[in-house]
Structure 1
Amino acid sequence: MTVLDFIRLTRANLRYLLAGLLIGALLGLGYSLLQPRVYASTSTGYVTVAGSAGIGDVISGNSAAKDKATGYLALTNSRAVAERIASENPDLGMSAGEIAGNLTASMDNQSALIRVQATANDPVKAQTLANSALESVAYVANELEGGNTVRVVPLEDALPNNSPISPNTWRNVLLGALVGFVAVYALVFARRAIDTKVRTREDAIKSTELGVLGMLPKSEDLASTKILHEAGDHVSQESIRQLRTNLRFVNVDRPPKSVLITSSEPGEGKSTVASTLAQALAEAGQPTIIIDADLRRPTVAKKFRIDSKIGLTEVIAGQVELSEAVRQFENSQLFILPAGRIPPNPSELLGSDKMRSLIRELSEEFMVIIDAPPVLPVTDATLLSKAVDGTVLVATIGGTQREHLREATENLHQVKANLIGLVLNQTPRGGFGGGYYGFGYASTRGYKSYYGYTSDKPTEGKGLKKLKRASKK
């Protein structure tokens, strides 16, 4: 994965990452609120032994007190010291074991100074523990030495500290936020690694080794039975026109006159692509005929709201003339040959010589767009692909399996079909943040601002207004 891929992945999942950050921070805060408060207090003293010259010797380290202090550090956590503290301070309500576990001692390497830190669930208790610890250490040390040769002199008494040292709320919140953020990243990478669907343009290209002719955005108009000029979605209209333009430049010297539109599996939008592409070609002034060759689940007649009782099946069977089955759409350059009656043997009809002759005959006068069944469930599309100038595969972003798309491509290559490109359907509108990373078609806002649309109704763009003002001058 490149740096750009990583940035796109982050943008595509930014809201999930922020959610993980927030949830982790809240969990860290909740953990802190549930933990008991721990307060600390520190007292300092110095050790003197018989024969010390004074405090100067103790601090400078030129005295035997330094050696004694080093040996007495371990006494701070001893049971003897803890039991004495407990007996001298019954109000603490702590056992000897609890007291020993809440005391820590340290010593300055250059002197005989001892620092005792005591912790407790109350700041006053922590203060009492710290101050009592120095006295108890001296008492136990004298007992071990067999006399009053050792004395611990308080230098700085412990003071109550009302700020708890534990839990560290800010640290827990930050740590929780970091863990939540990393956990979401791990899930995103894991999902990407195990996902088998087409999520990006690169996924589709790698699976087929084909170029992308067009990208159709997610649109209720395209998903419905609306025809192209009825759709109020200007982004969808422009995406179809771009597909029309790219199709014309597939082969400049010999542009395709008959194009088969198919997909790897049902439900990927091939009929929508075929219908809208045929309309776009007709709108550009090119005589176009769309043939509904999906004799198993025909949808073209429903899309254009025409009667489908007579159609391709009857023409191939010789029951009616071609002119009787073809319908002109609203006095336009678009003609429709519906599927007709669903036959018991669709593959035989579509693979027949009559079907090939029909496509060849229509190609002399029309641009022929054929809506064919998907490749993997049935063989109809592979049979038809040999009778047309080019075949276009349709894949749905987030719906088509990469393996299925790869297998469909291989099936068409096996029959030497002329695969001219891909159409990617249902592409995200969020720009390069769509899908897992970096796929989106184009932002609606961008198209509307460029073409002068502020809603479903067209308005004058800035460029047009300037042109009108200039003409008045």
Structure 2
Amino acid sequence: MELRDYIRILRTGWVLVVVMALIGVAAASVFSILSKPQFKASAQVFVSTQSGGTVQDLVQGSTFTQQRVKTYAGLVTTPIVLLPVISNLHLSMTADDLAKSVTATAPLNTTLIEISATSTDPVQAANVANGISESLTNVVQNIESTGTQSAQVKLTRVQEAEVPSAPVTPNVPINVALGLFVGLALGIGAAVLRHVLDNRIRSDSDVQAISPAPILGGITYDAKASKRPLIVQDDPRSPRAEAFRTLRTNLQFVDAGEGARSFVVTSAIESEGKSSTASNLAIALDNLGHKVIVVDADLRRPKIATYMGLEGAVGLTDLLIGRADMEDAIQQWGRGNLHVLPAGSVPPNPSELLGSAAMHSLVARLENEFDYVLFDAPPLLPVTDAAVLSKTAGGAIVVVAAGRTHRSQLSAAVTTLENVGVRLFGFVLTMLPAQGPHAYGYQTYGYGPVYAQDDVTVGKDSRRMMHRRG
């Protein structure tokens, strides 16, 4: 993934990142509150040796002392040193328990031993550190003494442990900062993981990764779409209406100068908005004065007649079986040049009808009589109707619902069209968010009603009277 992909992921999952960061801060705060304060006190012991007055004796003595320092530091946590301290301070613990709260370090190239003790009681921490330093001095004195000879090594406490005034743990600022960092890291990781595991189409880049066909348009999500499916007619100044006019313009450029203009509007799966896309695109083309017909070729679940407010008892199936003529089945919509051919009765063999010679003849006749022929076809994956019809028509336009269609589903739909040699004119993204990183369309750049007036004057009678032709 590129940097812009990560930026898009963060913009999409910023809520998750913020929540995880807050959880990290809260967890660190709770941990700091519940943790018992620990106090640390330190004492220092100086190690020296008796040596001659020559330079060589001094060098040898210094080397010997530095070697001994490491050994003495190791003695600090042994029972021989700790038991006297426990006895003197009347501590109710074992040598092993006390050793866990005691550390001894010997700075490099020095003859100093720093003894530190940690406890919930600051006074006890100082007493333990001082007691250990004194006990270590006595133990070394006894160990290094042999017979009547006194020890050549001497330990002197040069710094006495003082009672600490502030605890070393918990360190609230550091804990909170660490909790914030861990929360942010987990949040970003979760956002990236969710993006990687999410197989749904979210934006035009997801579509372009599957097919090089162009993105013809992007339609934003509208919760009221089911109540007003013909948005170009019902609210021509709305951003969604302008999006359909943008789709119309792009479609004209894609097919400029290439003969018959018949398009099958389909999708990978159901409920992606193909029927409303075909209807609104037809109205947008009609508003420019084109002679347009929209054919409901979804012979399984027809919707065009319902959307357009027409009677759908007689339609495409009646034409194909010779039970009706075109003049009886095709209905004019509004006062322009928009015509509708409903689906008619639902047949038992939709695929056979759409692939029949009668359908071929009908498509050729419609292409001769109309500037644009739009077929609303069933989705590609459940049935073969759309692929069969697209082979007869000029090509296909695939509608993709953002956040609903999976990449594998769209890829399979594109493969279905490629296998039968159908031309894919492009994609229309529907149900796009109006805001956010995946928002698409002209409104992202701040355009609005000012540029949504090109067709308003053409369709001033915004509520057209609908009547049946013939």
By the TM > 0.5 criterion, same fold?
yes
Is the aligned partner of 1:422 residue 2:455?
A: no
Match of 2:304 in 1: 300
Match of 2:266 in 1: 262
In structure 2, relative to structure 1, the CA distance for the partners of 1:378 and 1:111 (3 Å cut) is closer
Displacement of 1:241: 0.4
Q: Which moved more, 1:66-75 or 1:220-229?
A: 66-75
Q: SS state of the match for residue 33, structure 2?
A: helix
In structure 2, relative to structure 1, the CA distance for the partners of 1:113 and 1:351 (3 Å cut) is closer
In structure 2, relative to structure 1, the CA distance for the partners of 1:18 and 1:76 (3 Å cut) is same
In structure 2, relative to structure 1, the CA distance for the partners of 1:28 and 1:450 (3 Å cut) is farther
Contact kept in structure 2, 1:428 and 1:441, CA below 8 Å: no
In structure 2, relative to structure 1, the CA distance for the partners of 1:96 and 1:442 (3 Å cut) is farther
Distance 1:264 1:75 in 2: 76
Distance 2:186 2:402 in 1: 26
Match of 1:458 in 2: none
Q: SS state of the match for residue 19, structure 2?
A: helix
Contact kept in structure 1, 2:217 and 2:441, CA below 8 Å: no
Q: SS state of the match for residue 264, structure 2?
A: strand
Match of 1:287 in 2: 291
Displacement of 1:281: 0.8
Displacement of 1:24: 2.3
Distance 2:32 2:272 in 1: 50
Distance 2:395 2:107 in 1: 87
Is the aligned partner of 1:376 residue 2:376?
A: no
- TM-superposition CA deviations, 1:33-81 (whole Å, max 9, x none): 343332101123434677999xxxx9xx869876765543333222121
Q: SS state of the match for residue 272, structure 2?
A: coil
Q: SS state of the match for residue 46, structure 1?
A: strand
Q: SS state of the match for residue 254, structure 2?
A: coil
Distance 1:70 1:385 in 2: 86
Distance 2:72 2:420 in 1: 92
Q: Pairwise mapping of residues 7-18 of structure 1 onto structure 2 (< 5 A)? A: 7-18=7-18
Q: Which amino acid aligns with 1:118?
A: A
- TM-superposition CA deviations, 1:151-192 (whole Å, max 9, x none): 644433222223222334333333333333333333333333
Is the aligned partner of 1:155 residue 2:163?
A: no
In structure 2, relative to structure 1, the CA distance for the partners of 1:162 and 1:372 (3 Å cut) is same
Contact kept in structure 1, 2:237 and 2:449, CA below 8 Å: no
Distance 2:317 2:199 in 1: 38
In structure 2, relative to structure 1, the CA distance for the partners of 1:108 and 1:185 (3 Å cut) is closer
Q: Pairwise mapping of residues 14-413 of structure 1 onto structure 2 (< 5 A)? A: 14-47=14-47, 71-90=71-90, 92-107=91-106, 112-146=111-145, 152-228=155-231, 229-231=233-235, 234-254=238-258, 256-366=260-370, 367-413=372-418
Distance 1:321 1:65 in 2: 115
Distance 1:185 1:298 in 2: 45
Q: Which amino acid aligns with 1:304?
A: M
Q: SS state of the match for residue 77, structure 1?
A: coil
Q: SS state of the match for residue 229, structure 2?
A: coil
Q: Which moved more, 1:72-81 or 1:105-114?
A: 105-114
Contact kept in structure 1, 2:264 and 2:397, CA below 8 Å: yes
In structure 2, relative to structure 1, the CA distance for the partners of 1:138 and 1:291 (3 Å cut) is same
Match of 2:458 in 1: none
Distance 1:343 1:47 in 2: 103
Q: How many residues align?
A: 442
Distance 1:318 1:309 in 2: 15
Contact kept in structure 1, 2:42 and 2:115, CA below 8 Å: yes
Displacement of 1:88: 0.8
Distance 2:450 2:413 in 1: 38
Q: SS state of the match for residue 392, structure 2?
A: coil
Task: Structure 1: state its 5+ residue gaps.
Answer: 454-473
Contact kept in structure 2, 1:235 and 1:444, CA below 8 Å: no
Q: Which moved more, 1:202-211 or 1:272-281?
A: 202-211
Task: Structure 2: state its 5+ residue gaps.
Answer: 454-470
Displacement of 1:221: 4.2
In structure 2, relative to structure 1, the CA distance for the partners of 1:414 and 1:46 (3 Å cut) is closer
RMSD over aligned CA atoms reads 3.1
Q: SS state of the match for residue 374, structure 1?
A: coil
Distance 2:236 2:42 in 1: 75
| TM-score in terms of structure 2 length | 0.84
Distance 2:62 2:209 in 1: 79
Q: SS state of the match for residue 331, structure 1?
A: coil
Distance 2:340 2:452 in 1: 33
Distance 1:420 1:202 in 2: 17
In structure 2, relative to structure 1, the CA distance for the partners of 1:113 and 1:285 (3 Å cut) is same
Distance 1:63 1:353 in 2: 106
Contact kept in structure 1, 2:297 and 2:377, CA below 8 Å: yes
Distance 1:314 1:198 in 2: 38
Contact kept in structure 1, 2:236 and 2:242, CA below 8 Å: no
Is the aligned partner of 1:4 residue 2:4?
A: yes
Displacement of 1:296: 0.6
Distance 2:208 2:243 in 1: 19
Contact kept in structure 2, 1:429 and 1:442, CA below 8 Å: no
Distance 2:300 2:63 in 1: 104
